[in-house]
Amino acid sequence: MASEKISVRCCIAGGGPAGMMLGYLLARAGVNVLVLEKHGDFLRDFRGDTIHPSTLEVMHELGLLDEFLELPHQKVYELNAQFGEMRLTVADFRYLPTRCGFVALMPQWDFLNFLAEKAARYPSFDFKMEAEVIGLIEESGRVVGVRAKTTTGEYDIRADLVVGADGRNSIVREKAGLRVKEFGAPMDVLWFRLRRSAEDPAVAMGRFDSGRIFIALNRGDYWQCGYVIAKGQFEHMRRQDFESFRAAVVKLAPYARAGVRELRDWDDVKLLTVRVDRLLEWFRPGLLCIGDAAHAMSPVGGVGINLAIQDAVAAANVLFKALREGQLATDHLRRVQKRRELPTRLTQWLQVAVQRRIIAPVLVESGPLKPPLGARLLAKLPFFRRIPARIIGLGVRPEHVDPTLTRA
């Protein structure tokens, strides 16, 4: 970065799914855009590795799908769950009206690297890693840029628009003073990997047992595991013998016994704190928040990345012309929130309902687990598996890339 004056049309804080997709789309539309990412690479664990049918549809609309699917991935056609002794398919993606009737499991760093590479082809795209946004620059009540800390010092970057895509602990939304509504979550998630052998079951599986919930995603040679615990319980668990944790995992996933033995201690297990919240207003003059920065998503349904990408597509559609022509008004930012608020509200409402009605009761249950009514209905009426598939795979009001966005 040049030290004197850095000035761009749009400066995006955060190179996660929301920030990288918006950066790519704006660059493709010919908008001068800079993405700042505080880490030095995309190699972070616990980011969720699910690429949903709606995102794959966006990749198709951008002409990138075939090349994208050449990257190593696993295809998940259905989601399965076991409640006590009852096993069932909860969602079947094969019937979705999309090009890909599956969720692609792919390390998120591969997805983000792919977007970064594609974006780098456009001269109007700039991407800086190890560049952390630490403050906003404001003039007369309007955000006009950010202050960023890099390996070579601190810089002021001026922009017509600052986008906060810096995730659930967004510094941008905090510094902007945007008000947040918290919805609470009864659980946290312990995240770890177990070696997978050829004899293990092939499908993704959620297991609900008295007091415990366990998710295992097939990642080829390993299982990505999520062990759901009551909020705040981790400190108590850490004081206990690691062996009892190992035994609890083996009980839930007996096929992974050999992998569980390889877990050494609590350092092999990461705590992911679950939060659900939403900004009352996603914007201020000169500033917009999208993705988890605007609405931290629960891991329920694994839809957070999906929503982040959809926000990016909606924001690009609404903003690219105004940004390109230097005509951005606050009303454009209002239109982005208006477009994305309903899908976000409905999705969070469903997530909170599942947290309260299914997850919280299972976590405190000590007797035999009775499958919830919804699970019993899905077991009896397979046709209805298309509904969760639609909510998870496509979401509410899927976005499509404006065909005029690509600069000729």
Ligand X SMILES: Cc1cc2nc3c(=O)[nH]c(=O)nc-3n(C[C@H](O)[C@H](O)[C@H](O)COP(=O)(O)OP(=O)(O)OC[C@H]3O[C@@H](n4cnc5c(N)ncnc54)[C@H](O)[C@@H]3O)c2cc1C
Hey, which residues between 261 and 280 contact ligand X (CB under 6 A)? 272, 274
Distances (CA, A) of 44 to 15, 40, 316, 324: 12, 10, 26, 33
From 14, 30, 371, 393, residue interacting with ligand X (rule: CB under 6 A): 14
C-alpha span between 369 and 349 (Å, rounded): 25
The nearer residue to ligand X, 84 or 183, going by C-beta atoms, is 183
Beta bridge partners of 158: 7, 145
Least distance to ligand X from the beta carbon of 38, Å?
Answer: 4
The nearer residue to ligand X, 62 or 308, going by C-beta atoms, is 308
Contact yes or no for 183/295 (Cβ under 8 A): no
Least distance to ligand X from the beta carbon of 380, Å?
Answer: 28
Please name which of 342, 351, 7 lies closest in space to residue 183, comparing C-alpha atoms. Answer: 351
Least distance to ligand X from the beta carbon of 189, Å?
Answer: 4
Confirm or reject binding of residue 19 to ligand X (CB under 6 A). Answer: yes
From 81, 305, 313, 314, residue interacting with ligand X (rule: CB under 6 A): 305
Evaluate the CA torsion angle 339, 277, 192, 260 in order and state its sign: negative
The nearer residue to ligand X, 48 or 393, going by C-beta atoms, is 48
The nearer residue to ligand X, 32 or 224, going by C-beta atoms, is 224
From 96, 144, 187, 189, residue interacting with ligand X (rule: CB under 6 A): 189
Confirm or reject binding of residue 16 to ligand X (CB under 6 A). Answer: yes
C-alpha span between 346 and 342 (Å, rounded): 6
Least distance to ligand X from the beta carbon of 37, Å?
Answer: 5
Least distance to ligand X from the beta carbon of 143, Å?
Answer: 15
Q: Burial, 25: exposed, middle or buried (Cβ in 10 Å; 0-12, 13-18, 19+)? A: buried
C-alpha span between 10 and 85 (Å, rounded): 53
Confirm or reject binding of residue 291 to ligand X (CB under 6 A). Answer: yes
Please name which of 295, 262, 192, 297 lies closest in space to residue 234, comparing C-alpha atoms. Answer: 192
Beta bridge partners of 261: none
Confirm or reject binding of residue 164 to ligand X (CB under 6 A). Answer: no
Q: Contact residues for ligand X (CB under 6 A)?
A: 13-19, 36-39, 47-48, 50, 132-133, 165-167, 171, 189, 272, 274, 291-293, 297, 299, 302-306, 308
